[in-house]
Amino acid sequence: MAWQRGSHDWVSSYIGHFMLEASRLGYAVPPQVLEQWREYQAAQARGYLAGNDQGRLAHAYRLYTLARAQQPEMAAMNRLRENAALDGVARWQLAAAYLQVGLPDAAADLIGSMPRPPAAYEEPGATFASTLRDEALLLPVLRGLERNDEAAALAERMADGLASRQWYSTHSLAWALSSLAQHYGVAETERFAFAWRQGKSKWQQEESDQPLLQWALAPEPGPVAVRNDTEQPLFVVLSNTGVPAAGEETARSAGLTLSAQFVDREGKPVAVERLQQGRDVHVQVQVVNRSGRRQENIALTQIFPSGWQINNARLAGADEGEIVDYQDIRDDRVLSYFGLEADEAISLTVSVNASFAGRFYLPGWQVEAMYDAAVHASTEGRWVEVVAD
């Protein structure tokens, strides 16, 4: 991830890609912002020096976004095309750039006759990689080369994945949904009809020629039934979200450990279940990476009781920025982002004040690798009380 004090090749292209798609769909995007982004991308493309696999993929993505912005860097595209080390997904991404400028023969020459099966990744890396992201990248190339049977099979595989219980990062979902929307947007869609009901209510008839329909159901108990009234397949996804009731969180640890202690100014332990109003407490949190490999983009979320106030150390000139990539201090929470090597630990301290009398809930805290759901940890919540003097 690119934070305020840094830059990131992939993220720079991704943000521009997002703005281009938004503009194409009619959303207002400031022209001067897009122009500045184009100038930056073009300068980076002209000054590119050969790098590793992830660097070549990021460069191919940069060239694709410039081509999609109708400002292709043909010389840079041709240089990358002649790079003997160019392989894998980077070739497909560069092929997509050539398709954008109307050169399907060059695109076809890059990838050959058969698609490279997307690889499984042990970690997302600098390009936030995943199998789904790679499939989303391949789909428009297959469609652009009129390899329609392969494109249809790939689109169906992606749709099946999205309909499963598999976790995907927001980055992978964005790529997949954008790619599928463009694929089905140009494909002929037959009108379909179906009926649905919730609980014991009457059947509701629906018809549409759009590829996607969605609506919110009433939060009521009972089954949801769907009946397909046409001969073509109908894909149904039912999703619900929620938060655990207060006091019912479960402490978990997978690849990361998270521990916290509450101390006074002298470093002595403090029982926060009952605090005198006006008392200051230092919250010391430690996160350890036990995953066996470096983890980028770790997010720690600490939400505090409404009766406590966070003492923002930045107002006194202190800054955790030396040890974290970014930290967002709000009225009721502190959000910290950082990376850790294998078995490396990070310790962060937040000062709070027991400001308002009453009984409040201290939610459990969570830490997670933002692009790998298998790496996370959390603590249990508890009730706390602030008593007046």
One domain for residues 272 and 171? no
pLDDT band at 4 (very low <50, low <70, confident <90, very high): low
**Number of domains making up the chain:** 2
Looking at this protein, which amino acid is placed at residue 231? E
One domain for residues 163 and 283? no
pLDDT of residue 54: 81
One domain for residues 96 and 175? yes
d(CA 312, CA 328): 10
The structure tokens listed for 324 are: 């974290």
pLDDT of residue 49: 84
pLDDT of residue 319: 55
Residue ending a domain, among 186, 201, 232, is: 186
pLDDT band at 188 (very low <50, low <70, confident <90, very high): low
pLDDT of residue 190: 75
Q: Does 1 map to a domain? A: no
For residue 115, is pLDDT > 80?
Answer: no
One domain for residues 157 and 300? no
One domain for residues 27 and 130? yes
CATH code of the domain in which 176 resides: 1.25.40
Q: Does 381 map to a domain? A: yes
For residue 37, is pLDDT > 60?
Answer: yes
Percent of the chain with pLDDT over 90: 72
pLDDT of residue 226: 94
The structure tokens listed for 361 are: 């809930």
Q: What is the DSSP string of 215-267?
A: -PPPS--S-EEEEE-SSS-----------PPTT----EEEBEEEEEEEE-TTS
One domain for residues 75 and 177? yes
CATH code of the domain in which 357 resides: 2.60.40.690
Looking at this protein, which amino acid is placed at residue 232? Q
One domain for residues 91 and 165? yes
Q: What is the pLDDT of residues 302-322, one digit of tens each?
A: 999 999 999 987 655 455 556
Q: Does 215 map to a domain? A: no
Residue ending a domain, among 186, 211, 243, is: 186
- Contact between 281 and 352 (Cβ < 8 Å): yes
Q: Does 229 map to a domain? A: no
Cite the beta strand spans of the chain per DSSP E: 192-198, 204-208, 224-228, 252-254, 256-263, 274-276, 280-289, 295-303, 308-311, 326-329, 333-340, 345-354, 358-362, 366-369, 372-378, 382-387
pLDDT of residue 129: 92
Q: Domain range holding 31?
A: 9-186
Looking at per-residue pLDDT, the higher value among 71 and 4 belongs to 71
Q: What is the pLDDT of residues 234-280, one digit of tens each?
A: 888 888 887 778 878 889 999 999 999 999 999 999 999 999 999 99
